[in-house]
Structure 1
Amino acid sequence: MSQKITTFLMFDGRAEEAMTFYRSLFSDAEVVSLARYGPEGPGAEGTVVHAIFTLAGQRFMCIDSAVKHEFGFTPAVSLYVDCADEAEIDRLYAALAADGTELMALGDHGFSTRFGWVNDRFGVSWQLNLA
C-alpha cells in the first residue's frame, strides 16, 4: 500500500454539520464512511467517531473529539482553493464567510487579481484564489 496524506479535521460536536456544509459547496463530494458514538460513548451519542469524505476529489477525515482541548483550528494551516471563475469564488467566499471571520477581503491583493481568506463558522481557514 502506498503512503497517502489526508487532511484531518477535529471538531467539538459539529463534525457532521461541517462535513454536510462543505459537501454542499463542492462538486464531486461524498461521504465515504461515517461512524457515530453510541450510548456507551465516550463521545456524545450520535456525534462522529470517525468520518471520511471527499471534496472535489480530495480526501478528508474528521471526528468529534470526546476529549475537550484547549486549542482549535488556526489560520496557520488553511485549505487553499483555486476557483475556475468569478462566480465560483464569489459563491464560495459568501458561503464560507457567513457566520465566520474575514481574514482578507475578496479582492486584488497584488499577487492575485481576486483572492480572499476566511475562517468559516467552524473555525476552519480557507484561502480562495481565482486561478
Structure 2
Amino acid sequence: MTDKAIPFLMFQGGVGREAVALYTSLFEDGEILDLDEYPPGGPAPEGTIMRGRFRIAGQEFYVSDSFIDHEFGFTPSLSIWIEAGSPEQQERLVEALADGGATLMPLDGYGFSSRFAWVNDRFGVSWQINLA
C-alpha cells in the first residue's frame, strides 16, 4: 500500500456541492470525480455530500457535508496555494474566490512575491494565489 496525503474539506450547512461546483468551474482541469449523497432517511439531509472527490489544478481533494454542528469552521492557518499561470488568470481567481468572502491580503507585490493575494472564499476556505 502506498501512503498518500489528500486534502479533505468538511463543510457545514449543506454547502459542499455549491463549493465544489465553484472550485471545479474555475480551473481548466476542474472535475468532480465522484459525489456520494446521503440517502433519504439517513443521518443527514438527503442529497448532501456523504463523501466525494474532486480535482483542481492537478490536486485531488476529498469533500463532505457534516450533518453535525461543530464549533469550528475553516481557518486561514491552512490554505490552498495556487500558482497562477498569468496575471489574467490570477485576477479571475482572486475576484471569483473573494466574491462573498474576505480579502486577507489584496493583490499586490510583497517581499516574497511580486504579485500575490490571499482571500477567504464565501465558504470559509482560504486561498493564497501567487503569480507563477
**Bin of the TM-score, shorter chain as denominator length:** over 0.9
Give secondary structure in 2 for the equivalent of 1:108: strand
Structure 2 stretches lacking a partner, 5+ long: none
Query: Shift in Å at residue 41 of structure 1?
Result: 1.7
Distance in 2, Cα, partners of 1:24 & 1:37: 24
Task: Determine the structure 1 residue equivalent to 2:41.
Answer: 40
1:94 aligns with 2:104: no
Task: Determine the structure 1 residue equivalent to 2:8.
Answer: 8
Task: Return the letter of the residue paired with 1:7.
Answer: P
TM-score norm. by structure 2 comes to 0.97
**Which residues in structure 2 correspond to 1:49-128 (within 5 Å)?**
49-128=50-129
Q: C-alpha root-mean-square deviation of aligned residues, in Å?
A: 0.7
Task: Return the letter of the residue paired with 2:108.
Answer: G
Higher percent of residues as strand: 2
Task: Return the letter of the residue paired with 1:10.
Answer: M
Query: Shift in Å at residue 68 of structure 1?
Result: 0.8
Distance in 2, Cα, partners of 1:57 & 1:75: 22
TM-score norm. by structure 1 comes to 0.97
Distance in 2, Cα, partners of 1:30 & 1:75: 24
Give secondary structure in 1 for the equivalent of 2:110: coil
How many residues align? The count is 131
Task: Return the letter of the residue paired with 2:3.
Answer: Q
Percentage of matched positions with identical amino acids: 50
Give secondary structure in 1 for the equivalent of 2:117: strand
Following TM superposition, where does structure 1 have runs of at least 4 consecutive aligned residues deviating by more than 3 angstroms?
Answer: none
Structure 1 stretches lacking a partner, 5+ long: none
Task: Return the letter of the residue paired with 1:44.
Answer: P
Query: Shift in Å at residue 74 of structure 1?
Result: 0.1
